[in-house]
């Protein structure tokens, strides 16, 4: 294998699994260390720079970082990254002084953002400090988009959402709420320099062809519409027996909301097996804890309506059969159909994009699934002035993905408005690498690896939580628990940097490494090398760090897979050929938020 | 400073025949200097015992005084240990071995502990063919007292302060062969591929198994001009024979390629497979071994690998015709047969 080029910013970035997996590439270990140090304000600002909604995401994020967490590969469970983020939001001081301070000198450019969800708000946050005049349109009465209409208050209190939406709106954004944009043609006719579409995936899928759907319509609701109606106070009760169709997170939010609005016997019915359910495991867990029943392998066959009133739903039974390519088909088992009684049914089987307001003769090309044709890097549509982001760009994903889209679209819009090239002039990520050595055996980071298992977030007792849909179920970590959980982080951003010219091949690192990551051997092809290392190296998604050839003709090979970043290799190295260096990788944003915040903090981070 | 090693290990760690991972054979975190050769020897001992699937409670580690003699703390944390007076480990080991022949004895010593203060003890343990694996971690200096030349420092070797050693050195392997040791080998802490099988063979050997391991002192004797530095040893290593240790029952399937191959079966049924790299050298020819040792030394080379091996020698218990069972397994009547028995013994001497 060729020697690893550690000057490529992506090499060490990939070692920081959590950050690499985060669509917005939030510097996770860095903020976890700040939380452990009780520096919640700085932890919050580091998050805010990167993901814009730390308080919201600390409660609701899909957490792609956690399945990626290295800790989950060396013991049972990953670090509770998401809930640590919430700690930063809960215990921070007033952060407003650390944010860019308006009014910002205008740069003469005007942009329109359609939809006030996470993607548009991110664009607004990144561009407002640069002097753009920003007009934000939404048909709801407040900003937040799906964060407000689809996420129930018992998971995300309104005050938390308001706070983080207001940080952005108070930057001098021109808001046009209760205002549905019905024509892109009209919008284009106004004098905007660029238009960003962040309208999400607003249409809930229906089961319109199922018998009884029309007749029972009064008691059959589309999940996301029903959740929005609850959120805005239009709906405050539901029947005692509720069936929720679907197995995603919306279904979980529906069933849990139903439990709070009078649903006593709430049953979620999924057509696929449990293991294929799309809902996050922790959402399923919380629903089960609140007394919801989940039935699987039962597709609905018909809504049963008698005398114009919904009686229930008829289900058939299927089993999942997989062909040799792993493709799944649901095959009826022949078991007699099951009838479940219900007063109300909530359909939460998916969301779709819909752009009825965009005329198709404007030069905005639409492709497969009637989705806009976009440049995946710049988010620019085939109309140079029009950009898309969030669920509106590539279909329903999650908040953190929408934020990541927003950052990139903001850069594109800025480059476009400045007359620069959207690809060639895109800024590279910023990378800082800091030595951590303080003394012979002392490091700037807490290198000891604790054995603690994941700490559970305390909850409000169910009997209280179910009384009011506005009572937040999770209490969050207190500072003590947060410290304990933060200590579980392995500091994967503190990199093991090897300098081959210093190595005397004494084997000290090989002998000390708790997880046997390091091998000195003769070079070869990767397949061959992976078989010759001191420990099994079967995780091919993790790189091998290969040194230059050493005096004995061998090379140092480190399997990054289960390195604990404990620093013992560097501590036992007599020549400092191994060194622990903190690697801070940050995606460059249109506006230098972090630099502004850092300059305002008394003690530099 | 990190005093504790993290408890987390590789999730796919291999298990040996007893179901233990390598972790079960580890000891405390070393407090020796970073880069000390001794830590590598400790690592090799851990690896050898893990691969041999030795039950840790069957091992007794004995040592004297010195950097080397600290190391038993850093390996086999689940085994018995005895830290003796400086240079007196062989006597304690002899006593322990006579009392309980069922344990596996592992003596750890250094060049000072063996070739200086303990020389008088060492030579007698060798000539009695005590059943022990005796490892000398040899760095040619007194590391614990800031690096003075030891008795194994080569003539002309320069130490860190620039002083050149005027004295002739003691070659412990030559001495051991001369005194009748039945297993004599030399290796290098920086060459685990050679060291681990040598330790496995030594542990399986019944009789005095002597292993002289060149183990550089990274703090006081790793300078240019030293003949015990990492660089010097790597450049001047010569090997008698490539060695494979084949445990009992394992089928011999390795491809040995060119060169003359000889297999020596040890007392416990395991085998040492040697692919000779040197002409005129045979593992059980004491005179040829001495000659070869002298020749390489004259050339300024360091001869490593198995130097001499005699698998059929009688150990101390055989020579003294002792009881097959350890003392702790004998009954009080066996141990104190009474005045009648004493009378009988006394009568034999009259």
CATH assignment at residue A159? 3.50.50.60
In this prediction, residues A544-567 reach a mean pLDDT of 96
Do A526 and A581 sit in the same domain of this protein?
yes
State the Cα–Cα distance between residues A313 and A271, nearest whole angstrom: 13
In this prediction, residues A383-405 reach a mean pLDDT of 96
Residue B172 Cα, gap to closest chain A Cα (Å) = 23
Q: Which two tokens stand for residue B102?
A: 């069922």
pLDDT bin (cut points 50, 70, 90) of residue B262 is confident
pLDDT bin (cut points 50, 70, 90) of residue B257 is low
Would you state the pLDDT for residue B3? 74
Does residue A559 surpass a pLDDT of 50? yes
Does residue B285 surpass a pLDDT of 70? yes
Do A236 and A174 sit in the same domain of this protein?
no
Would you state the pLDDT for residue B116? 96
Query: Largest alpha-carbon pair distance within chain B?
Result: 69
Does residue A157 surpass a pLDDT of 90? yes
Q: Which residue has the tokens 């400090």?
A: A129
Do A209 and A198 sit in the same domain of this protein?
no
What backbone torsions phi and psi does residue A274 show, to the nearest 5 degrees?
Answer: -50, -45
CA A165 to chain CA mean position, Å: 17
Do A456 and A531 sit in the same domain of this protein?
no
pLDDT bin (cut points 50, 70, 90) of residue A592 is confident
Q: Which two tokens stand for residue A26?
A: 């939030």
Would you state the pLDDT for residue B276? 74
In percent, how much of chain B has pLDDT > 70? 96
pLDDT bin (cut points 50, 70, 90) of residue B252 is low
**Chain A positions in Cβ-Cβ contact with residue B3 (cut-off 8 Å):** none
The count of domains in chain A is 4
Q: What is the pLDDT of residues A114-125, one digit of tens each?
A: 999 999 999 999
B198 lies in which domain range?
Answer: 22-320
Q: What is the pLDDT of residues A28-67, one digit of tens each?
A: 999 999 999 999 999 999 999 999 999 999 999 999 999 9
Residue B297 Cα, gap to closest chain A Cα (Å) = 23
pLDDT bin (cut points 50, 70, 90) of residue B241 is confident
**CATH code of B263's domain:** 3.40.50.970
State the Cα–Cα distance between residues A204 and A226, nearest whole angstrom: 10
Does residue B261 surpass a pLDDT of 70? yes
Would you state the pLDDT for residue B238? 85
Helix, strand, coil percent content, chain A, rounded in steps of 5: 35, 20, 50
In this prediction, residues A313-335 reach a mean pLDDT of 92
Q: Which residue has the tokens 């029947």?
A: A239
DSSP B36-75: -HHHHHHHHHHHHHHHHT--GGGEEEEE-SSHHHHGGGGB
pLDDT bin (cut points 50, 70, 90) of residue B311 is confident
pLDDT bin (cut points 50, 70, 90) of residue A163 is very high
Q: Of A332, A349, A366, which one is at a domain's C-terminal end?
A: A349
Contact A4, A41 (CB under 8 A): no
Q: What is the pLDDT of residues B198-216, one digit of tens each?
A: 999 999 999 999 999 999 9
- Distant-in-sequence, close-in-space partners of B10: CB < 8 Å, separation ≥ 6: A515, A516, A517, A535, A536, A562
What backbone torsions phi and psi does residue B98 show, to the nearest 5 degrees?
Answer: -70, -35
Q: Which residue of A has its CA nearest to B23?
A: A514
Q: Which two tokens stand for residue A322?
A: 């997989």
State the Cα–Cα distance between residues B308 and B20, nearest whole angstrom: 33
State the Cα–Cα distance between residues A132 and A603, nearest whole angstrom: 31
Query: Would residue A439 count as lying in a domain?
Result: no
Q: Which residue of A has its CA nearest to B11?
A: A74
Average pLDDT, chain A: 94
The pTM (predicted TM-score) of the whole model is: 0.90
In percent, how much of chain A has pLDDT > 70? 99
User: Can you list the positions of beta strands (E) in A401-541?
Assistant: 430-435, 437-439, 442-443, 494-498, 518-521
ipTM for the predicted complex comes to 0.89
pLDDT bin (cut points 50, 70, 90) of residue A442 is confident
Q: Which residue has the tokens 């392997």?
A: B173
Would you state the pLDDT for residue A102? 82
pLDDT bin (cut points 50, 70, 90) of residue B2 is low
In this prediction, residues A349-375 reach a mean pLDDT of 93
Helix (H) or strand (E) holding A230, with range, is helix A223-231
**Strand pairing report for B302-309 and B237-239:** parallel
Contact A155, A60 (CB under 8 A): yes
**CATH code of A474's domain:** 1.10.1060
DSSP A18-85: HHHHSTT---HHHHHHHHHTT-HHHHHHHHHHHHS-HHHHHHH---THHHH-THHHHSSS---HHHHH
Query: Would residue B16 count as lying in a domain?
Result: no
Do A77 and A109 sit in the same domain of this protein?
no
Q: Which two tokens stand for residue A336?
A: 């007699």
Query: Would residue A434 count as lying in a domain?
Result: no
Q: Of A349, A379, A400, which one is at a domain's C-terminal end?
A: A349
**Chain A positions in Cβ-Cβ contact with residue B196 (cut-off 8 Å):** none
CA A409 to chain CA mean position, Å: 17
Would you state the pLDDT for residue A605? 46
CA distances from B194 to A490, B177, B184, B190, B216 (A): 35, 20, 14, 9, 16
Q: What is the pLDDT of residues A259-305, one digit of tens each?
A: 999 999 999 999 999 999 999 999 999 999 999 999 999 999 999 99
Would you state the pLDDT for residue B255? 52
A230 lies in which domain range?
Answer: 205-349
Give the nearest partner residue to B9 out of A515, A568, A575, using CB atoms. A515
**Chain A positions in Cβ-Cβ contact with residue B8 (cut-off 8 Å):** 74-75, 449, 451, 514-515, 564
DSSP B311-342: TT---HHHHHT--SS-GGGS-HHHH---HHHH
Q: What is the pLDDT of residues B136-164, one digit of tens each?
A: 999 999 999 999 999 999 999 998 989 99
**Chain A positions in Cβ-Cβ contact with residue B37 (cut-off 8 Å):** 506
CA B334 to chain CA mean position, Å: 34
pLDDT bin (cut points 50, 70, 90) of residue A601 is low
State the Cα–Cα distance between residues A415 and A404, nearest whole angstrom: 17
Residues on chain A bordering chain B, Cβ-to-Cβ distance under 8 angstroms: 73-75, 440-442, 447-449, 451, 504-508, 510-512, 514-517, 535-536, 538, 551-552, 562, 564, 566-568, 571-575
Query: Would residue B346 count as lying in a domain?
Result: no
The count of domains in chain B is 1
Query: Would residue B348 count as lying in a domain?
Result: no
């Amino acid at each position: 294998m060729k020697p690893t080029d550690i000057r490529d910013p992506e090499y060490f970035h990939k070692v920081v699994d959590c950050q690499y997996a985060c669509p917005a590439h939030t510097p996770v270990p860095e903020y976890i260390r700040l939380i452990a140090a009780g520096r919640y304000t700085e932890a919050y600002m580091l998050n805010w720079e990167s993901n814009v909604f730390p308080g919201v995401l600390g409660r609701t994020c899909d957490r792609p970082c956690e399945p990626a967490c290295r800790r989950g590969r060396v013991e049972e469970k990953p670090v509770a990254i998401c809930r640590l983020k919430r700690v930063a939001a809960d215990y921070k001081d007033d952060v407003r002084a650390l944010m860019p301070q308006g009014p910002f000198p205008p740069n003469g450019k005007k942009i329109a953002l359609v939809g006030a969800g996470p993607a548009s708000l991110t664009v607004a946050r990144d561009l407002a400090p640069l002097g753009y005049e920003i007009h934000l349109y939404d048909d709801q009465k407040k900003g937040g988009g799906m964060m407000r209409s689809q996420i129930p208050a018992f998971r995300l209190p309104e005050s938390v959402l308001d706070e983080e939406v207001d940080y952005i709106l108070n930057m001098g954004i021109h808001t046009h709420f209760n205002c549905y944009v019905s024509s892109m043609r009209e919008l284009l006719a106004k004098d905007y320099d660029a238009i960003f579409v962040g309208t999400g995936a607003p249409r809930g899928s229906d089961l319109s062809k199922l018998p009884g759907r029309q007749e029972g319509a009064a008691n059959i609701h589309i999940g996301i519409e029903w959740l929005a109606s609850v959120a805005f106070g239009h709906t405050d009760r539901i029947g005692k027996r509720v069936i929720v169709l679907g197995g995603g997170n919306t279904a979980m939010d529906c069933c849990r909301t139903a439990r709070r609005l009078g649903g006593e016997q709430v049953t979620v019915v999924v057509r696929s097996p449990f293991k294929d359910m799309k809902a996050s495991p922790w959402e399923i867990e919380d629903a089960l804890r609140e007394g919801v029943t989940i039935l699987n392998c039962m597709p609905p066959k018909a809504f049963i309506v008698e005398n114009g009133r919904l009686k229930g739903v008829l289900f058939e039974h299927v089993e999942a059969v997989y062909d040799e390519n792993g493709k799944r088909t649901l095959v009826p088992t022949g078991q007699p159909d099951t009838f479940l009684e219900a007063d109300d049914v909530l359909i939460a089987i998916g969301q779709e994009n819909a752009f009825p307001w965009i005329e198709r003769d404007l030069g905005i090309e639409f492709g497969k699934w009637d989705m806009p044709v976009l440049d995946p890097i710049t988010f620019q549509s085939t109309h140079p002035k029009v950009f898309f982001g969030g669920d509106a760009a590539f279909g329903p994903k999650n908040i953190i993905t929408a934020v990541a889209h927003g950052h990139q679209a903001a850069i594109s819009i800025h480059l476009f408005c400045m007359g620069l090239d959207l690809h060639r002039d895109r800024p590279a990520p910023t990378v800082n690498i800091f030595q951590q050595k303080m003394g012979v055996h002392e490091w700037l980071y807490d290198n000891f690896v604790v054995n603690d298992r994941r700490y559970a977030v305390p909850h409000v007792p169910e009997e209280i939580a179910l009384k009011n849909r506005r009572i937040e179920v999770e209490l969050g970590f207190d500072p003590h628990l947060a410290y304990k959980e933060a200590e579980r982080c392995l500091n994967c951003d503190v990199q093991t940097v090897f300098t081959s010219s210093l190595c005397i091949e004494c084997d000290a690192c090989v002998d000390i490494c708790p997880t046997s990551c390091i091998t000195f051997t003769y070079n070869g092809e990767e397949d061959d090398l992976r078989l010759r290392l001191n420990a099994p190296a079967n995780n091919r998604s993790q790189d091998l760090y290969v040194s230059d050839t050493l005096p004995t003709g061998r090379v140092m090979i480190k399997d990054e897979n289960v390195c604990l970043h404990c620093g013992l290799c560097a501590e036992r190295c007599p020549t400092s050929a191994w060194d622990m260096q903190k690697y801070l990788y940050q995606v460059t944003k249109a506006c230098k938020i972090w630099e502004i915040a850092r300059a305002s903090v008394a003690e530099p981070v | 400073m990190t005093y504790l090693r993290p408890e987390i290990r590789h999730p796919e760690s291999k298990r040996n025949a007893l179901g233990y991972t390598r972790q079960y054979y580890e000891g405390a975190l070393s407090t020796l200097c970073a880069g000390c050769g001794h830590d590598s020897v400790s690592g090799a001992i851990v690896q050898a015992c893990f691969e041999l699937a030795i039950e840790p409670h069957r091992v007794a580690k004995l040592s004297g005084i010195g950097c080397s003699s600290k190391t038993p703390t850093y390996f086999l944390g689940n085994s018995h240990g005895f830290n003796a007076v400086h240079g007196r480990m062989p006597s304690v080991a002899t006593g322990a071995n006579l009392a309980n022949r069922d344990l596996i004895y592992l003596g750890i010593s250094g060049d000072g502990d063996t070739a200086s203060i303990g020389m008088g003890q060492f030579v007698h343990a060798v000539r009695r063919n005590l059943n022990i694996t005796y490892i000398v971690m040899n760095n040619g200096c007194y590391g614990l007292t800031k690096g003075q030349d030891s008795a194994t420092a080569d003539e002309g070797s320069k130490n860190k302060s620039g002083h050149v050693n005027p004295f002739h050195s003691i070659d412990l392997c030559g001495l051991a062969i001369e005194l009748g040791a039945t297993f004599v080998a030399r290796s290098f802490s920086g060459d685990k591929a050679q060291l681990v099988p040598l330790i496995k063979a030594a542990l399986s050997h019944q009789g005095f198994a002597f292993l002289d391991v060149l183990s550089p002192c990274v703090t006081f004797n790793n300078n240019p001009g030293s003949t015990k530095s990492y660089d010097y040893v790597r450049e001047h290593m010569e090997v008698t024979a490539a060695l494979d240790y084949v445990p009992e029952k394992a089928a011999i399937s390795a491809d040995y390629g060119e060169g003359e191959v000889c297999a020596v079966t040890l007392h416990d049924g395991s085998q040492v497979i040697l692919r000779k790299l040197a002409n005129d050298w045979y593992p059980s020819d004491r005179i040829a071994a001495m000659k070869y040792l002298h020749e390489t030394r004259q050339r300024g080379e360091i001869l490593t690998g198995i130097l001499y091996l005699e698998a059929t020698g009688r150990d101390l218990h055989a020579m003294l015709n002792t009881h097959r069972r350890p003392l702790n397994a004998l009954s009080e009547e066996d141990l104190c047969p009474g005045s009648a028995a004493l009378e009988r013994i006394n009568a034999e001497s009259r």
